[in-house]
Amino acid sequence: MGAELLDARPALALLVSATGAGLIMLIGYRARLRAWLAVGAAVLKFVIVWSMLPGVLAGQVYGLTLFEVLPGLALELRVDALGLFFALVSSTLWIPATIYALAYMRGRQGQRRFFSFFALCVATTVGIAFAENLLTLFVFYELLTVCTYPLVIHEGGLAARRAGRRYLIYTLSGGALILTGMVVVQHLAGTLSLSGTGILDSIDNHAALLAIFVLLVAGFGVKAAIMPLHSWLPAAMVAPVPVSALLHAVAVVKAGVFGLMRVVYNVFGVEHMRVLGFAGYLGLLAGFTILAASVIALRQHNLKRLLAWSTISQLSYIVLAISLLTPAATLAGIIHLANQAFAKITMFFAAGAIQRATGKTRIDELDGIGRQLPAVMASFTVAGLSFIGVPLLAGFITKWYLSLGALQAGSGGYMVVLALSGLLNAAYWLPILYRAWFKPPAGVAAAGNTSPLAGSAALSPMMLVPLLICAAYVLLLGVGAEAPAMPFVLAEAAVRLVFGLPGPAP
């Protein structure tokens, strides 16, 4: 392990977004200025986060203490491979998400508020990623909840407020559980640090350990949408599309699974976890969620709701990967953070583009949409095939390592779960692709006056380009394991840290 360096960049990354948010709130009255502020902050943060990649790959760890809350309890940032991976994913995705949001929200109410909170969310996400201890993690985790709430209810109206209330109740209860668990950990271990591989090794109070595990897993499990803690997620679909993208791909649910990773890898540590044997139950729950959410997804008629259920299923891939406690599974879980994020954000962007261009939101209205919006549907197709697990796309990589990880853990049965899940994914994505590409557009026979290109023309390139970039990334993640700047290497480094394996020669 490399030396720990004092470095301001972790805090800078955080501040850039926060400052961006503040400036948008204060002076972002004009659309053009607002756009520049939002995109500028995104790009700047992207650069800062990526600039830490070479160092971290070489084994460097960057740390910075913000301030001490109480003696021994500090808000402290620390950049290790796992945290940087999460930060990279979210800060990379934030750029296309912001550009897309600028186009999508054009002409709507409350844009200043929207973009301000949008930027704050990503700032807090970076805080979560770079948190050195549970307390810091918890603080940013709660801030994230608070910052997303105005976005969820952005559209106004009864449904939005109801969804927002449910979101708050679920996530704040989760937060309360985490807080309780954290207090117990502090009491027993005397530290909340996440820099090692386990702080509870010396404790042999089985009941207390189980309590900590249940509290922390249930707490983070709310945002990770493990069944039965999932129901806020489909409800939150009333939010505008960029917010859904934020919830599903960039920040919120990812914060949940990332928290779980920290609990299992850094609070307990894989070795200790394996001895305790709690993770097996988590794996069962995840396996159940993978299948059950997919079965429910089969019966959805609204495209966005289908995407929500698919997210629940996909997140549990990561949860399952965490619970298996083997190197290949861990690798699968970490890279699925990115794989799921890029594929799912592609789908949300596509759903939003379809809605913007044609006003269609139901799956059975999508007949022939591929002919109207070829680029949009091509991207959607790439993402869909990735979820099914077609080789050369991102999803296949996850499936491969997760299957291998299940075998390593001696639970080969999960391979069957994955296979079934792949088939279920085919059963709900392929009908959409069939409608889009193979069915004649509805209403063409009835009203011949609609030009087939009317839809594409209405789409701003600011929506189309982010969509295409994300779809390209799904492909890149599927084939580019060796590319030097790809997160894959970073994920491998993270796995080595988690398992205490020797690194490759730098």
Q: Which residues bind another protein (CB under 8 A)?
A: 385, 389-392, 396-397, 399-401, 403-404, 407-408, 412, 415-416, 419-420, 422-423, 426, 430, 438, 479-482, 488, 492
Q: Smaller CB distance to another protein: residue 143 or 430? A: 430
Q: Which residues contact 229 (CB under 8 A, 6 or more apart)?
A: 170, 174, 218, 221, 222
Single-letter amino acid, residue 292:
A
Torsional sign, CA 395, 399, 402, 404? negative
State the nearest-atom distance from the C-beta of 478 to another protein, in Å: 8
DSSP codes joined into one string, 64-124: EEEEEEETTEEEEEEE-HHHHHHHHHHHHHHHHHHHHHHHHTTT-S-HHHHHHHHHHHHHH
State the nearest-atom distance from the C-beta of 495 to another protein, in Å: 12
DSSP at 239 = S
DSSP codes joined into one string, 395-461: HHHHHHHHHHHHHHTT-THHHHHHHHHHHHHHHHHHHHHHHHHHSPPTTTTT-TTS-TTHHHHHS-H
Rounded CA separation 132/142 (Å): 16
Rounded CA separation 148/263 (Å): 23
* Short-list 231, 193, 236, 197, CA closest to 74: 193
Q: Smaller CB distance to another protein: residue 236 or 376? A: 376
Q: Smaller CB distance to another protein: residue 170 or 488? A: 488
Q: Smaller CB distance to another protein: residue 114 or 396? A: 396
Q: Smaller CB distance to another protein: residue 40 or 374? A: 374
Q: Smaller CB distance to another protein: residue 111 or 403? A: 403
State the nearest-atom distance from the C-beta of 412 to another protein, in Å: 8
What is the distance between the terminal CA atoms of the chain, rounded to a whole angstrom?
12
Label each residue of 189-236 as H, E or C.
HCCCECCCCCCCCCCCCHHHHHHHHHHHHHHHHHHCCCCCCCCHHHHH
Single-letter amino acid, residue 242:
P
Tokens describing residue 266: 């850094």
Tokens describing residue 397: 């990589």
State the nearest-atom distance from the C-beta of 223 to another protein, in Å: 29
State the nearest-atom distance from the C-beta of 480 to another protein, in Å: 8
State the nearest-atom distance from the C-beta of 345 to another protein, in Å: 23
Rounded CA separation 501/235 (Å): 42
State the nearest-atom distance from the C-beta of 420 to another protein, in Å: 8
- The SS3 of residue 270 is helix
Report residue 41 CA to chain centroid gap: 20
Q: Smaller CB distance to another protein: residue 416 or 453? A: 416
Q: Smaller CB distance to another protein: residue 208 or 407? A: 407
State the nearest-atom distance from the C-beta of 409 to another protein, in Å: 11
Q: Smaller CB distance to another protein: residue 66 or 295? A: 295
Q: Which residues contact 80 (CB under 8 A, 6 or more apart)?
A: 56, 61, 195, 494, 497
Q: Smaller CB distance to another protein: residue 156 or 413? A: 413
Q: Smaller CB distance to another protein: residue 129 or 491? A: 491
Rounded CA separation 38/95 (Å): 9
State the nearest-atom distance from the C-beta of 329 to another protein, in Å: 12
